[in-house]
Structure 1
């Protein structure tokens, strides 16, 4: 029978094996296979006597496709077991307090980001003035906040959320609302990539879509320049035209 510390170590190794940079990483794949089999065997053999640890292992194996960070953190706090000594009780109380503060701070930041996303949608891009198309700002915000919860990833969340909204609007226009000529016109405009004010448009909705895309990608390229050390506008426009 493996001691609690041994199970915990294998569980951490199992988690680490799921964090991969490249699609194929043979060493991590082998570690994942071994730790998965080991943990399942320990569960089936009833070798994990600690009830909380057993629940934690079951939860991790059940959600092998991945666990959203915030949900994982909450689950770990719920399963946190304090020792009987006073120092552990204090540590547990401090951990709970810190977790609540962290949650509230992140929620406040995400709320502010959602307000900025809606301002971009309604005021800056005027996408709501289009006759047809889905408004997925709320869905986009929830997805990006869940996938990239860390406070320092605010620019990444904003870029990803706007991309989801724009792709959805363009997809709806191409598939259901826009004419073939208007759809081809948007593609041509993206390939030419000129400032919106210097162009002529077949109708107002083509202008709204192209202007929103142009301004959003231009802003993203400006934000990325100090980090990338180069202008990525060509990369973004190439991706947009595909």
Structure 2
């Protein structure tokens, strides 16, 4: 299961190490939640005091937005709001600016030969990120007679960073954006030898963390550090961003306490001692995927089914015998608590806990949104267990499937569909018959993030020439099927990940029955993959370590 990755160690956190070889599903060791460990590094006022100050700053910034008349200045402001993680305070103002810019563009009032590469790239990216389709032909204005991007553009560092980020919202078939990506990347790398060190860090950050493919709140501190200006507008943005970040961090700490208490009270860590005991790690997914502060309750609730994805994965990977795994899968498919006598005790405990949790969530959704999602939730678990069973049979037999067969199953065994189906019903936006039918059929907004996660995990954990033993992954399947080298297979996987991102971008631009909250959750799932699976040479995950410290521990001095 792709949510579960390889062994890693956190030297700065208490851990409970374990390592298990498994087919296509990697194990990850993460910090346990220690009592008192997540104290803030600075002492700020309490939540009420911070909230009062925050409301004052929100009003100040809203006043600034209402007085912005220059279209270019409006887009720059939206960009700042998003990068600082405070755009959730101003949805109406942002939508008004974006729709106005879209109308201007289609009336021929923007994007012409007189606009800079920075302005056009920013406009293009923001409109696409907000669901407005803009043709990539807009960049033809920056090509020379030979059909290449004008070399002189490469000297505009700010413009190149904007062009590079715009290229990341590409969809399949947009060759000009692939050319833009290559041109901007080469220009930015070339500039690193001639700029000041402060500018170097900004360029490297843009190359490594293009906005569309990154989690905004994770980069809030970086943008604050590099947001220049002593004017009132800039100071108001900075002050609001600091207050908002600290308030949301306090909220996340409280959510983590609730998660930890639920897990402790549930008692599964005592009953299923072979399974992982990692509520902190499980909580990282909802924290990233449901990033809007208003979803505090749902982040706590979403952590619960995520924990069962890991627990059931451990049953299939670590503890269950082949016959037991078949019995457990059949029991989940029947979904009848009166018909589990044939299961061993530990499986009965797990099944009943899963059954009760699913019914609790279904009842919550029914009360809050007026729809009983039990059939959809149940289906997500049966699909997951069926996929786990397929992988366990492959592993037991030593059979290496065809690459496409492995990936089709791996998209399901990633567990992403379980998470996003629960999000659809928990958040409750757009619960219609059409939306329910679509989510039950696992649309592209689910399959593309799952593909990205599955392939990225396999890419990071594919064996090199010095590794020993059998370690199934898409890379292994592809190498065996096509007789290619390891590097050739890895390059193929990297291209598949790029194509999956393009597919996800197209889904976000295409008509669908889903709310923007669900679309954002889909995107954030894909964005979180790089945080969870960016290994260093020592097989550690320093990005995940930093993510935990940044969002849960290190506040911003006011």
* Fold agreement, TM-score > 0.5: yes
For residue 205 of structure 2, what is the aligned residue in structure 1? 59
Give the superposition deviation at 1:128. 1.8
Do the aligned partners of 1:140 and 1:165 also contact (CA within 8 Å) in 2?
yes
| Structure-2 change in CA distance of 1:99 and 1:26 (3 Å) | same
1:38 aligns with 2:180: no
Which of 345, 352, 360 aligns to 1:204? It is: 345
C-alpha distance in structure 2 between counterparts of 1:217 and 1:30, whole Å:
48
Which of 78, 96, 101 aligns to 2:238? It is: 96
C-alpha distance in structure 2 between counterparts of 1:25 and 1:213, whole Å:
43
1:233 aligns with 2:374: no
Deviation per CA, 1:164-218: give whole Å up to 9, x if none.
Answer: 4222222222333334443322211111112x3x344434321221123223444
User: Normalized against structure 1, the TM-score is what?
Assistant: 0.73
1:26 aligns with 2:174: yes
Alignment of 1:71-220 (within 5 A): 71-83=218-230, 88=231, 90-123=232-265, 125-130=266-271, 131-146=273-288, 148-154=290-296, 157-158=299-300, 161-194=303-336, 196=337, 198-201=338-341, 202-220=343-361
More helix by share: 1
For residue 17 of structure 2, what is the aligned residue in structure 1? none
Which of 150, 154, 157 aligns to 1:7? It is: 157
Do the aligned partners of 2:282 and 2:303 also contact (CA within 8 Å) in 1?
yes
User: Normalized against structure 2, the TM-score is what?
Assistant: 0.35
Deviation per CA, 1:128-179: give whole Å up to 9, x if none.
Answer: 2323211121112234424543324546644653344222222222333334
C-alpha distance in structure 1 between counterparts of 2:310 and 2:248, whole Å:
27
C-alpha distance in structure 1 between counterparts of 2:383 and 2:294, whole Å:
25
| Structure-2 change in CA distance of 1:103 and 1:188 (3 Å) | same
C-alpha RMSD of the superposition? 3.6
3-state DSSP of counterpart to 1:232:
helix
C-alpha distance in structure 1 between counterparts of 2:153 and 2:166, whole Å:
20
Deviation per CA, 1:22-59: give whole Å up to 9, x if none.
Answer: 6x463544443332233223334x3x57x644431122
| Structure-2 change in CA distance of 1:121 and 1:26 (3 Å) | farther
Instruction: Choose 220-229 or 103-112, whichever is displaced more.
Output: 220-229
C-alpha distance in structure 1 between counterparts of 2:384 and 2:302, whole Å:
13
C-alpha distance in structure 2 between counterparts of 1:118 and 1:93, whole Å:
38
| Structure-2 change in CA distance of 1:227 and 1:109 (3 Å) | farther
Long gaps (5+) in structure 2: 1-151, 388-558
3-state DSSP of counterpart to 2:192:
helix
Do the aligned partners of 1:190 and 1:240 also contact (CA within 8 Å) in 2?
no
C-alpha distance in structure 2 between counterparts of 1:223 and 1:17, whole Å:
41
Long gaps (5+) in structure 1: none
C-alpha distance in structure 2 between counterparts of 1:212 and 1:8, whole Å:
53
| Structure-2 change in CA distance of 1:164 and 1:229 (3 Å) | closer
C-alpha distance in structure 1 between counterparts of 2:370 and 2:183, whole Å:
39
